[in-house]
Amino acid sequence: MGVVIGIDPGLSRCGIAVLGGTGARPHLVASDVIRTHADDSHSERLAVIHAGIQSMARQYRPNALAVERIFINKQGNTGIGAVQVVGFVHLIGADLSIPVVEYTPSQVKAAVTGSGDADKAAVQMMVQKTLGLPARPTPADRADAMAVAICHLGIPAFRQRDPRLNPHRDAHLRSRVSGDTRSSGGMSARLAKAMETAGPGLAAIHPSRLPQQKDQP
């Protein structure tokens, strides 16, 4: 059992979801979409998002903060605000001694739907089914945050000594050694295959392992 906060980073809308339980039986604790206004300054918008994530983390004290990894296009002008939000997540994790883990969009989709190429409608439908919600979660930012948290709860490799290792590769090797062809690392064979196809992307930082700052003279 555990609590994880999933975050779908964005400057205009930042989805955040608190999930409890296990990979087999996750349940929704709380969710929100932090919104900012384009008329506000960039600094003000970032401050609103930082405050919202920090407040949620302090309230629920999760075992981990899981955030979707952001990729920048060749022009470098897409996702800059979202990347800054990811930086906030790592900062909040360090301040509150909460491990932070990133997942690629393909990993999240594979964990929730079994396909790394699933569209948003499929993700919303499977999130609803997985969490037993009465309706599909909206907007998409809220559903994506839930999906990130579901992805994290479904990967037991994070609980190993070094969570920065590729969980899909290690799970696959363990199943081969043990001769268990039914599952890999607690996942079904179909899901393990989908996660392997989605590729690497898991990265974690344990605040306790951060280098200690030297006192200033």
Question: Which candidate in 8, 102, 144, 196 is catalytic?
Answer: 8
Residue 178 above 60 pLDDT? no
Residue 165 above 70 pLDDT? no
Q: Is 91 exposed, middle or buried (0-12, 13-18, 19+ CB in 10 A)?
A: middle
Residue 108 above 80 pLDDT? yes
* Tokens standing for residue 168: 């899909």
| Whether 117 is catalytic | no
What pLDDT is stored for residue 99 in this prediction? 95
Q: How confident is the model at residue 89 (pLDDT cuts 50, 70, 90)?
A: very high
What pLDDT is stored for residue 14 in this prediction? 97
More confident site: 154 or 5: 5
* Cis preceding-peptide flag for 139 (omega within 30 of 0): yes
What is the value of pTM for the model shown?
A: 0.74
Mean pLDDT (whole number) for 91-104: 95
Question: Which candidate in 68, 102, 144, 196 is catalytic?
Answer: 68
Residue 82 above 80 pLDDT? yes
Give the Cα separation of 118 and 144 in Å (integer).
12
What pLDDT is stored for residue 215 in this prediction? 46
Per-residue pLDDT tens for 23-65? 888 999 999 999 999 999 999 999 999 999 999 999 999 999 9
| Whether 141 is catalytic | yes
Q: Dihedral sign, CA of 105, 111, 117, 121?
A: negative
The highest-confidence range among 52-56, 109-113, 199-203, by mean pLDDT, is 52-56
Per-residue pLDDT tens for 126-152? 999 999 999 999 999 999 999 999 999
Reduced 3-state DSSP string for the chain: CEEEEEEECCCCEEEEEEEEECCCCEEEEEEEEEECCCCCCHHHHHHHHHHHHHHHHHHHCCCEEEEECCCCCCCCCCCHHHHHHHHHHHHHHHHHCCCEEEECHHHHHHHHHCCCCCCHHHHHHHHHHHHCCCCCCCCHHHHHHHHHHHHHHCCHHHHCCCCCCCHHHHHHHHHHHHCCCCEECCEEHHHHHHHHHHCCCCEEECHHHCCCCCCCC
Cβ–Cβ < 8 Å for 112, 127: yes
Q: Dihedral sign, CA of 29, 15, 131, 190?
A: negative
Mean pLDDT of the chain, nearest integer = 78
| Whether 40 is catalytic | no
Cβ–Cβ < 8 Å for 8, 81: no
Question: Which candidate in 102, 141, 144, 196 is catalytic?
Answer: 141
Domains present along the chain, CATH in parentheses: 2-164+200-208 (3.30.420.10)
Give the Cα separation of 177 and 136 in Å (integer).
40
More confident site: 34 or 110: 34
Residue 120 above 60 pLDDT? yes
